[in-house]
Amino acid sequence: MSETIAAAPSIGHSALVVRPIAGSIGAEIYGLDLTCPLSDETFEAVHEVFLQHLVIFLPEQQALNPDQLKEFAGRFGEIDTAPFVHPLKMPSLEGYPEVFNVIKEASNSAINIGGFWHADVTYRERPHLAAVFYAKETPDFGGDTMFANQYLAYETLSDGMKEMLSSMRAVHSSDMPHGREDVRFGAVSKDHAPTDGDRKFEATGLETTRVDIIETAHPVIRVHPGTGRKALYVNRAFTSRFEGMSVEESLPLLHILWAHAARPEFTCRYRWTPHTVAVWDNRATQHYAINDYYGQRRHMQRISIHEATRPV
């Protein structure tokens, strides 16, 4: 059943149609044309859906140029221009350093960027608020992305666990000590199983970089600045350990929290179509790009948005 939200007449439609895609997270929005700038009233309506559903999808768009994608992304906050995938260097669009090309060729049997449950760049003092994703070329089947609601991950913890975690902080590291090759999967299809070598970062064909390791501590339970709701804020990609504890002491509890964060009941799975635009809230979600489209090409573009302040 559709939910309808009034939209500004300047976009040429009387209403935005919002269609939830799962019970816990995710919604499609119809009635927008992103080739035209959105009025303030229309963007406020879109932003409200974003806060409510945590990840929004805008399918059936016209082909967007980089300036149009930047125009839309910039409405969510300060655009990030720094490379953020370590140790892989993701190429950006010529002349647009903030627009990253996420391309996987049909013949590439290696791991994919984002191919495990994670939140983005949480090792930074100001991680990403959101990511804006644009589907340029999609497989005929496969290549879906899953998203998990971290409000629910927190709210379904036991009272004892909530109390224990409420004052704890976790150290997040750009070195990805628990999110490297051994937790990722090479490309698969019904006729192709990956080999051990496909898990190696070098097998991707992307440029690899070595940079100084960044470590930052954040609350294990953070408060979303836009909604006031609490969310679980640890992820396998970057959370190294709990502050004041060793890695060995931290790992048993981290494994419990990582598994809990990705319960199927908290998730949605989205099948991309060309020219769909998505925005996910990195403050209260995790996501997983499924690497099951070997033999088909996938080309996405991404712009990331900074958080205004450190998580609290």
Range of the domain at 137: 3-306
Cα 236 to Cα 254: distance, rounded to the nearest angstrom? 8
pLDDT band with cut points at 50, 70 and 90 for residue 3:
low
pLDDT digit string, tens, across residues 25-48:
999 999 999 999 999 999 999 999
Q: What pLDDT was estimated at residue 196?
A: 87
Residue 31 forms part of a structural domain: yes
Q: Stretch 138-146: mean pLDDT, rounded?
A: 98
In DSSP terms, 96 is beta-bridged to 93
Q: Residue 181: which pLDDT band, with cuts at 50, 70 and 90? A: confident
Q: What average pLDDT does the segment 134-148 reach?
A: 98
- Number of domains within the chain: 1
21 in any annotated domain: yes
- What pLDDT was estimated at residue 13? 43
Q: Would 18 be classed as within a structural domain?
A: yes
Helix (H) / strand (E) element for 233: namely none
CATH code of the domain covering residue 277: 3.60.130.10
pLDDT confidence bin for 12, thresholds 50/70/90:
very low
pLDDT at 11 over 70: no
- The whole-angstrom separation of Cα 211 and Cα 175 is 9
126 domain-assigned: yes
Q: 126-140 burial string, b = 16+ CB within 10 Å, else e?
A: ebbbbbbbbbbebbe
Average pLDDT over residues 193-221: 89
Cβ-based neighbours of 166, under 8 Å, separated by 6 or more? 221
Q: Mean pLDDT across the stretch 134-160?
A: 98
Confidence of residue 84 (pLDDT cuts 50, 70, 90): low
Residue 200 domain flag? yes
Mean pLDDT on 223-246: 98
Query: Which has more confidence, 20 or 180?
Result: 20
For residue 115, which of 287, 298, 264, 254 has the smallest C-alpha distance?
Answer: 287
- Is residue 146 a part of any domain in this protein? yes
Residue-wise pLDDT tens digits, 89-118: 788 999 999 999 999 999 999 999 899 999
pLDDT score for 219: 98
In a domain, 311, yes or no: no
> CA geometry: angle at 76 spanning 267 and 290, to 5°?
30
> Is 55 in contact with 279 (CB distance < 8 Å)?
yes
Q: Catalytic amino acids?
A: 118, 120, 287, 302
Answering whether pTM is above 0.85, one says: yes
Mean pLDDT of the chain: 93
C-alpha 285/C-alpha 271 separation (Å) is 18
Residue 82 belongs to a domain = yes
